[in-house]
Structure 1
C-alpha cells in the first residue's frame, strides 16, 4: 500500500513537471499609434514582424518548452517593447517564436542572437542587430540598417537607403535604393538594382556581384582585398569607369554599347569615360578578379 502510494506521488510529480515545461502559446493585443517605435528582443527562436493597416499591435508568442510568465509586452504612448527576457544566471533566453503585427508606419528595432528574423511591409525605418540565423526583409519604403556576424540576409523590394555590416554572412536580393553602404569580411554579396544612385561596398575576401541600372549619374565604389568583383550594367550609363588592381589579376570588360568589347586588361590601372563621364564607377582589388559587362 505504501509502495503504491509512493508510485502515485512520483507519477503525478512527473506529470506536473512535464506539463510545466510543455510548449506554451500566448496572444497579446494593444492599441498603438500609427508611427511609433516598436522594439523587439528575442535571443533564440524566430521573429516575424509584418506591417498592417490597424492601429494596434498583435503578438503571438510560442515558447520552445518553457514558461512565458516573464514575457514582456509593454506599450506606452509612442513606444512599445516586446521582449523575451534572459533568466538570471543564463546567457540566452529560452527559444521562443514571435509572430507580430504592427502599424505599417511604425519604426522597428529588432535585436537577436541566434534568431531567424522575417520583416515585411514596414514604412518606417528598420534596424536589425543579430549574431546568427536567417534574416529576410521585404517591401520597405524607409531606411534599413543591418548589423550581423554570420546571419545570411535576403532583401526584396527595398526602396529606402541601406546600411549593412557583416563578418561572414552572405547578402543577396533586389533593391531600388538611392544610397547603399555595405561592409563585409568574408561574406558574399549578390545584389540586383532595379534603380540605384550611390553604392559604397567593401569586402576583404568575400565576392561582390552587383547588377542593374543606375538613375542619373552613378556613384559606385567596390573595393576588395582578395574577393572577386562582378559588375553588370543595364542600359546606357553616363560615367567614368576606373579599375585598379594591385597584382596581376584577371580583369575583363565587355561593354559593346559603350565601345568596350571583350577587353582583357593586363595593366593595373584602367580608366575610360562612358558617355560624358559625369558619374563614377570605381572597382578596386588587391588580388581578386574583376569583370564588367552588360546585363
Structure 2
C-alpha cells in the first residue's frame, strides 16, 4: 500500500515538472516572457429615460457610483494591465436589455499560464433618476456609492469594502465577506451583514426595520429616530446611539461580554449577561445579541 502511494506521488511530481517545463518552453518560443503595460480607457453612454434598473458584476475592479448633472448615464472603465498575453486585457461590456442596464468586465477564461497584473477602476455617472432596482456584485474590489435613489438596492462584495453616502430606497440589502460596510445618511429599511468586517450605519431615517449582523466584526449604529432593530455579533462589540427622548423595548443578551446602557430603563429582567425592559412607554423593539462582544446603548 505504501509502495503504491509512493509511486503515485513520484508520478504526480514528474508530471508537474514536465508540465512546467513544457510551459516554459512554449513561453520562450512565443516570446511570452515580454511583459507590457497596456492602458485601458473605455466608456459607454446610455439614455437614463430608457433605464429603470442597473446591474453591475465585476471582478478585481474598484467601483465608484457618482452623481452627475449631465443628462446621460456614463460608464467609464480605465486603468492599466501588466501582462505578457494580449488576450488577458479586460474589456468593458455594457448593454441594455429592455429597460435594464447590465455592466460587466469581460476577462479571458482560457488563460492557464501567463502573467497578468491589473489595476482597474470603473466609474458610473448617474443623473438624478429613481431606479426600480440597483444591484452590485463585486469580487476583489471596493465600492463607493453616492446619492442614489432606488426602490430596491443590493450591494455585495467578496474581499472589498462598501462605502455608501446619501442612499434613498425602500429596501436596502448589503453584504460583505472580508470587508467593512459604512452607510451614512440613508433612508429605508436596511439589512447589512458582514463576515470578517465592521458595520457602521449612521444617519438612518424613515426605516421601520434595521437588521445588522457580523461574524468577526463590530457594529456601530447612530440614528435620529428609533426603529425595530435586530442586531447580532459573533465576535465584536455593538454600539448604538439614539436620541435622548427615545422610547423602545430593549432585549440584550451576551455570552461573554459586558452590557452598558445610558437610558433610564424600566427593567423587567436582568442578569450579568442579559437585560430586558422598556425605555419610556416602549414601542419599537431593539433586540441585541452577542457571543463575544460588549454592548453599549446610549444617546
Whole-Å separation in 1 of the counterparts to 2:294 and 2:172: 30
Q: Is the 8 A contact 1:42 1:93 kept in 2?
A: no
* Match status 1:187 vs 2:192: no
Cα RMSD, aligned residues only: 3.1
Q: Is the 8 A contact 1:34 1:55 kept in 2?
A: no
40 and 152 in structure 1: CA distance in 2 versus 1, 3 angstrom threshold: same
Note the alpha carbon deviations across 1:143-186, whole angstroms, 9 max, x for none.
32112101112111111221112111111241324121112111
How many residues are matched? 252
| Equivalent residue runs for 1:83-232 within 5 Å | 83-89=104-110, 94-103=118-127, 104-106=129-131, 107-124=133-150, 125-142=152-169, 143-177=171-205, 178=207, 179-212=209-242
Instruction: State TM-score, norm by structure 1.
Output: 0.73
Range moving further from structure 2, 69-78 or 110-119: 69-78
Note the alpha carbon deviations across 1:216-266, whole angstroms, 9 max, x for none.
xxxxxxxxxxxxxxxxxx22233334444556x54444435x689xxxx75
Instruction: State TM-score, norm by structure 2.
Output: 0.72
Whole-Å separation in 1 of the counterparts to 2:107 and 2:101: 19
Whole-Å separation in 2 of the counterparts to 1:56 and 1:251: 51
Q: Is the 8 A contact 2:65 2:144 kept in 1?
A: yes
Residue ranges of structure 1 left out of the alignment (5+ in a row): 1-12, 213-233
Q: Is the 8 A contact 1:86 1:93 kept in 2?
A: no
Range moving further from structure 2, 275-284 or 149-158: 275-284
* 3-state DSSP of counterpart to 2:200: strand
| Equivalent residue runs for 1:1-150 within 5 Å | 21-33=37-49, 36-52=52-68, 54-65=70-81, 70-89=91-110, 94-103=118-127, 104-106=129-131, 107-124=133-150, 125-142=152-169, 143-150=171-178
* 3-state DSSP of counterpart to 1:42: strand
Whole-Å separation in 2 of the counterparts to 1:252 and 1:193: 18
64 and 272 in structure 1: CA distance in 2 versus 1, 3 angstrom threshold: same
Whole-Å separation in 2 of the counterparts to 1:47 and 1:186: 25
Residue ranges of structure 2 left out of the alignment (5+ in a row): 1-29
* 3-state DSSP of counterpart to 1:22: strand
Whole-Å separation in 2 of the counterparts to 1:192 and 1:131: 26
